[in-house]
Amino acid sequence: MIRVQTGDFDVGAELEQLRRDNNGRAGAMVSFTGLVRDINAGDSVSEMTLEHYPGMTEKALEKIEQQANTRWELTASLIIHRVGALQPDDNIVLVIAASKHRKQAFQACEFMIDTLKTEAPFWKKETLPEGTRWVEPGQCR
């Protein structure tokens, strides 16, 4: 399942829901949570705004989840991505992969977040003390 939303998500509640959805078939669940950092490229960040391409975003996330389910034998999967104005320490993205064994779950989770970062149409804009700037790919450090 995929969701794009402005509101926050509860990582624990999402993991618990997916655990129930597995109906006992999964032996492993791996999750990745992406957060807003308070510093990027040496500058302090007070706010981060996530822009996206409504419609295409959902299609891209569905495709990524589908690819993961084709490559690995998953019992359940989930991608949630937030959009709009976020503050440091806020959740941005949650990816969960559940499988019979841990290796498949680890690999599928990594694939989904890595692919999302290069293919899903989201753009980050940071608010710094000097003003705003668009995040460049690979700039985060």
Partner 1 sequence: MVHLRYFASLREQLGTGEEQVELPSNITDISGLTRWLQTREEPWKSALADSRLHVAINQEIVRPDAPVTDGDEVAWFPPVTGG
Q: Is 100 in the site for partner 1 (CB under 8 A)?
A: no
103: amino acid identity, one letter: K
Q: Element (H or E) spanning 52, and its range?
A: strand 47-52
Among positions 67, 117, 127, 128, the unique one binding partner 1 when judged by CB under 8 A:
117
Q: Distance between alpha carbon 80 and the CA centroid of its chain, in Å?
A: 6
Q: Is 62 in the site for partner 1 (CB under 8 A)?
A: no
Q: Distance between alpha carbon 100 and the CA centroid of its chain, in Å?
A: 22
Cβ 13 to partner 1 shortest distance, Å: 21
Interacting stretch for partner 1, rule CB under 8 A, among 21-29, 67-75, 97-105, 109-117? 109-117
For 104-133, give one letter per residue: b (16+ CB within 10 A) or e: bbebbbebbbebbeeebebebebbeeeeeb
Cβ 101 to partner 1 shortest distance, Å: 26
Label residue 67 exposed, middle or buried (CB < 10 Å: 0-12, 13-18, 19+): middle
Q: Is 135 in the site for partner 1 (CB under 8 A)?
A: yes
Interacting stretch for partner 1, rule CB under 8 A, among 10-18, 22-30, 54-62, 67-75? 54-62
Q: Which residues bind partner 1 (CB under 8 A)?
A: 34, 50-53, 55-56, 59, 81, 92-93, 113, 116-125, 134-137
